[in-house]
Amino acid sequence: MGRSKATAQISAHVSPAVAAEVRALAAARGLTVSATLGSLVTEALRFNVEHQHGSLIEVTVERAIDRQLGRIGELAFRGALRADETRRLLRPILERAVGEEAAKALRREIHSAAWQATSDPLPAPNGSQAAWANGSRPS
């Protein structure tokens, strides 16, 4: 009865150490040297294809992350712009309500409190206690 798969014969020259290793591997697994070499070559080629696919997946994920980070950056910029517009609109109203000196003092106090808050650790995302447990913030 013939083989169930079509095969092609190839040959290669290897060092005596590699040949001994292949023979030992074949003997340990109860296979022929030919079957062992065929399996090793097939696995090596599969690894190369999987490595190429992994590289493509990595590039795709990086592009998706870049798009999302770009969107987050745009939203942060818009938020900062709106905050500045609000500050500019409210400053004269506050000065009229409490006086210029009191408004300046209040603005300094608010600015100082906001600056202080930037050094506080970020809360863990979604209430998770594991993220940033050491209190450091991501850069």
What are the tens digits of pLDDT across the range 114-135? 888 888 887 777 755 554 555 5
Our count of domains for the chain comes to 1
CA gap 109, 116 in Å, rounded:
11
Let me know if residue 123 belongs to a domain: no
φ, ψ at 26 (rounded to 5°): -65, -45
Burial environment of residue 136 by CB neighbours within 10 A (0 to 12, 13 to 18, 19 or more): exposed
What percentage of the chain carries pLDDT values higher than 90? 42
Q: State which residues form the domain around 89.
A: 16-117
**Contact criterion met (CB below 8 Å) for 99 and 93:** no
Question: How high is the mean pLDDT of the chain?
Answer: 85
Let me know if residue 109 belongs to a domain: yes
Q: How far lies 32's CA from each of 39, 46, 78, in Å?
A: 11, 21, 68
Q: Which residue has the higher pLDDT, 16 or 51?
A: 16
Q: How do residues 102-116 score in pLDDT, each as one tens digit?
A: 999 998 998 898 888
Let me know if residue 8 belongs to a domain: no
Let me know if residue 1 belongs to a domain: no
pTM exceeds cut of 0.75: no
Give the pLDDT band (50/70/90) at residue 1.
very low
Q: In the predicted model, is pLDDT for residue 79 greater than 50?
A: yes
Q: How many residues does the chain have?
A: 139
